[in-house]
Chains A and B, each alone.
Chain A
Amino acid sequence: MAKSESEMTWKDLEIGNIVTEPGSARVYESGTWRSQRPTYDFKKCIKCGLCALYCPEGCIGPDKDGYFEANMYYCKGCGICARECWPRVIKMVEEVE
């Protein structure tokens, strides 16, 4: 989205207020919502991918080594991944910043 909310004029609207950019909501930083964050002990991670399957945000994916990690830009800190992880890799801690 090129223009900010305060800059958008009536001429910037597409016909019928249609949004033509699929998935444009990816710019929204839902990570600002969290009050706790996941921390990882990757020694235990078996790369099963269950945490990715259970994340409501869909922000968990494998890093370059294949370990599954949440994207902090989107992570809301719900703790589901920590709860579902069977080898207990993930521990939720309070978000301090």
Chain B
Amino acid sequence: MVTRVGMEVSLALADAVKLTQPDVIAAYPITPQTHIVEHLAELVADGELDAEYMPVESEHSAMSACVGASAAGARTFTATSSQGLALMVEVVYVAAPMRLPIVMAVANRALSAPLSIWPDHSDMMSVRDTGWIQIITENGQQAVDNTICSFRIAEDQRVLLPVMVHLDGFTLTHVVEPIIFPEQDAVNRFLPRNRFPLPLNPDRPVAMGEFAPPFIFTETKWAQEVNLRNSKKVITQVWEEFDKAFGRKYTPVEKYHSDGAKVLIMTMGSSGETASVAIDELRDEGMNVGQIRLRLWRPFPFEELREAVKDADVLIVMDRALSFGGPGGPFASEVKAALYNQSKKPKIVSYVISLGGRDVTVSGFKDIIRKGVEIAEKGSKNEYEIYGVKE
């Protein structure tokens, strides 16, 4: 029996965390993640969730507490956003090489200055190279499902890496969406207790976090890289098992009318759903256009991306972050790098859109797509295009 409830996505995400039964939750509030940590506090206070709720004094300490708890063998969760993520960056860098299976929800929000509480992906880009597994979600159901999958992926003994679940602040966290919640028993079967193999325990003393002189540092980083790359196999396996158990399938690159399409757009995050409506309308008008959406950001799905774009002539990549003084959209520059050595590749147009919460409408997307096709044909002297600047 499947019940679908209409619920604010933050609250749904917190309820999904409850289903995974974490041991320790470290929480520091920052708009727009607040409803997640608030609802978790309520669940703990009412005895519905048995976890140690730590209202820490900064995000840096939130991630540090998660590192400690995870190293001790506990299942840990935290959530943050923009400035908080930026503050905890050094600890985020530490969690991955220490192979700690922490799960963190990031409500993507623009980084200051100027201060903005509205969504874009600049915060996601600040942790791009930290070595975490990163999954991007576009709607409430995906956020709920992937939160549950993240614990399973993180704690898999072949992976043992921290996982970030990205969801757009406000446009996802603060909207009411229809959510189907898995049953607790089914989640228990899907998500067994899988403990860190060498936790901090007086019965078996270990030393974690030693310093590495040059003779061994490169080897530690290579070991980290190999492990992250190999985790992709496990991620796709876990998604397949999730599909079998709950009937919803996720893949690293998801396609929307992209097979055979000559013009493709590529999106990350919730703006992708608005773009899909634009795709539908353009297709009704007769344009041969499709969309691909990135679900798995790290490890980067090179094969799946190359396969998805192999027949396209034009690929318009939408970025919600800007790498100043550089190639513009960070996402687009990664796509360009992934396709550079392919003998057949589409013309790539990089569009920076929707910074700091300025939504792009359906007609806006149609506009971008048409302009993008023009630019692909005529060429442009710009490294990238930026949409909607008031001039």
| Same assembly | yes
Q: Which residues of A contact B (CB under 8 A)?
A: 5-6, 8-20, 22
Q: Does B340 contact A (CB under 8 A)?
A: no
Interface residue from B98, B99, B206, B215 paired with A19 (Cβ < 8 Å): B206
Interface centre among A12, A16, A20 (most CB of B within 10 A): A16
Contact B215–A17 (Cβ < 8 Å): no
Q: Nearest chain B CB to A19's CB is how many angstroms away?
A: 4
- Asked if B210 and A10 make an inter-chain contact with CB atoms under 8 angstroms apart, the answer reads no
Question: Which residue on chain A has the smallest CB distance to residue B98?
Answer: A16
B2 contacts the other chain (CB 8 A): no
User: Which residues of A sit under 8 angstroms from B1, Cβ to Cβ?
Assistant: none
11 extra A-B contacts, CB within 8 A, seeds A13-B219, A13-B223, A22-B205: A8-B216, A8-B219, A10-B226, A13-B220, A16-B98, A16-B160, A17-B98, A17-B208, A18-B206, A19-B207, A22-B207
Q: CA of A70 to CA of B212 in the docked complex: distance in angstroms?
A: 31
B98 neighbours in A (Cβ, 8 Å): 16-17
A13 to B100 Cα, complex, angstroms: 16
Task: Identify B212's interface contact among A15, A17, A20, A22, CB under 8 A.
Answer: A17
Least distance between B95 CB and chain A CB atoms (Å): 10
* Given A13-B220, A15-B99, A16-B198, A5 contacting B215 (CB threshold 8 A): yes
Write the nearest CB–CB distance from A41 to chain B, whole angstroms.
Answer: 40
Which residues of B come within 8 Å of A, CB atoms?
Answer: 97-100, 160, 197-198, 205-210, 212, 215-216, 218-220, 222-223, 226
Majority DSSP secondary structure for residues of A touching B: loop
B198 near A20 (CB under 8 angstroms)? yes
A66 to B20, CA, bound (A): 59
In the complex, the chain B residue whose C-beta lies closest to that of A16 is: B99
Q: A17 and B220 in contact (CB under 8 A), knowing A5-B215, A8-B215?
A: yes
Contact of B97 among A8, A16, A19 (CB under 8 A): A16
Distance in Å: Cβ of A70 to nearest Cβ of chain B: 26
- In the bound complex, what is the Cα–Cα distance between A14 and B219 (angstroms)? 11
Q: Are B220 and A18 in contact (CB under 8 A)?
A: no
B149 to A: closest C-beta gap in Å: 22
- Which residues of A lie under 8 Å from residue B100 when comparing CB positions? 16
Q: Which residues of A contact B219 (CB under 8 A)?
A: 8-10, 12-13
Interface contact B220-A10, CB-CB below 8 Å? yes
CB distance from B315 to the nearest CB of A (A): 36
Question: Once bound together, how far apart are the Cα atoms of A22 and B223, in whole Å?
Answer: 23
A10 touches B222 (CB 8 A): yes
- Taking A5-B215, A10-B220 as contacts, is the C-beta distance between A15 and B210 under 8 angstroms? no
Say how far A92's CB is from chain B's closest CB, in angstroms.
32
Centre residue among B198, B207, B226 by max chain A CB count within 10 A: B207
Complex Cα distance, B198 from A64, in Å, reads 39
Q: CA separation between A16 and B224, bound complex, in Å?
A: 8
Nearest CB in chain A to that of B95: its residue: A16
Which A residues touch B197, using CB under 8 A? Answer: 15
> In the complex, A19 Cα to B208 Cα: how many Å?
7
A18 touches B208 (CB 8 A): yes
Q: Which residue of A lies closest to B96 (CB)?
A: A16
Q: Which residue of A lies closest to B200 (CB)?
A: A18
Rounded to whole Å, the gap between the CB of B235 and the closest CB of chain A is 19
Bound Cα distance A49, B94 (Å): 43
A17 to B100, CA, bound (A): 12
Cβ distance A7 to chain B, nearest Cβ, rounded Å? 10
Instruction: Give A20 to B210 CA distance when docked, in angstroms.
Output: 12
Q: In the assembled complex, which residues on chain B have CB atoms less than 8 Å from the CB atom of A12?
A: 219
Query: Are A17 and B206 CB-contacts (below 8 A) given A5-B215, A8-B216, A10-B219?
Result: no
| Of A5, A6, A10, A19, the contact of B223 (CB 8 Å cutoff) | A10
Partner of A15 from the list B160, B207, B216, B222 (CB cut-off 8 Å) is: B160
Tell me the nearest residue of chain B to A20, going by C-beta. Answer: B206
Whole-angstrom CA separation of A69 from B352 in the bound complex: 72
B198 — nearest CB in chain A belongs to which residue?
A: A18
Complex Cα distance A15/B100, Å? 10
The chain B residue with its CB closest to the CB of A9 is: B219
Contacting residues, chain B, for A5 (C-beta < 8 A): 215-216
> B207 — which chain A residues lie within 8 A by C-beta?
18-19, 22
B81 to chain A, nearest CB (A): 27
CA distance A6 to B206 in the complex (A): 23
